[in-house]
Amino acid sequence: MIVPRILVSFVAGAMLAILPAYAALRGGSGLYGVLLSGLAAGAVVGSVLSAKLDGVPYGYLMIGGTVLTGVAWIGAAVSTWTPAIVACFALAIVYSGGNSVLFDTLIQTVVPEEMIGRVTSSMTTLEGIATPFGSLVGGAVAAVVGPVAILVALGVANFLGTAYILRSGSLRSLPPVADVERGDDRIERVAD
C-alpha cells in the first residue's frame, strides 16, 4: 500500500513544478497564488471530511477518491474559467487530504507498536524522495508537451489507479478504517 503513496508524492511534485507555467497560461502570476490557496483549501476539507468517512469501506473510498481526483485534474486541464480552475484544483486535493489522515490511522493501528517508528520514517523518506523527482520529470516533460498535458496525465494516472484497485480484490475489499483493529488480518493480506 506504500507504492501508491510514493506515486502520489511523485505526481504532486510534477504538479507543483508545472503550476507556475500553468498559471501563466491560464491567467497570469496572480492565479498562481490563488491555485496554491485552492490546493490548501482542498487539503483542509479532505482532512475534516476524513472524520466523517472513516466508516466507509476503505477500498470503496479509494475507488471514489481516485475517480474524483482524476476528473478534477482533467477538469482543470480543459477549463479556462478561473473559478472552475480553482475549484478543480481544490477538488483534486480533497481525497489526498482525507486519505492521508485515514491511511496514517491504518498504519498506526495495524503496524506493531515496536515497528511504527521505522515504518513511518521509511514511508516519509520514500515519499519525500519521490516529490523532487516528480518535479524534475514533470518540469522536463512540461517543457516539451506543456503544462496542460501534465494535468491530463495526472487525471489519467488516477484513472489507472482506479482500475488497479478495481482489479485487486484485496484492495477493493478493504474494510472501513473505523473497523480495523491491531493485527487485523484483512489488512495483513494486502501487505503480503
Domain with 102, as residue range(s), is: 2-191
**Number of domains forming the structure of the chain:** 1
Identify the band that residue 192 occupies on the pLDDT scale cut at 50, 70 and 90: very low
Q: How far apart are CA 38 and CA 101, in angstroms?
A: 19
Give the DSSP H/E element, type plus range, for residue 192: none
Task: Give residue-wise pLDDT tens across range 13-42.
Answer: 999 999 999 999 999 889 999 999 999 999
pLDDT of residue 113: 87
Task: Give residue-wise pLDDT tens across range 111-138.
Answer: 888 988 999 999 999 999 999 999 999 9
The CATH number for 160's domain is 1.20.1250.20
Identify the band that residue 1 occupies on the pLDDT scale cut at 50, 70 and 90: low
pTM for the complete prediction?
0.90
CB 88 within 8 A of CB 75: yes
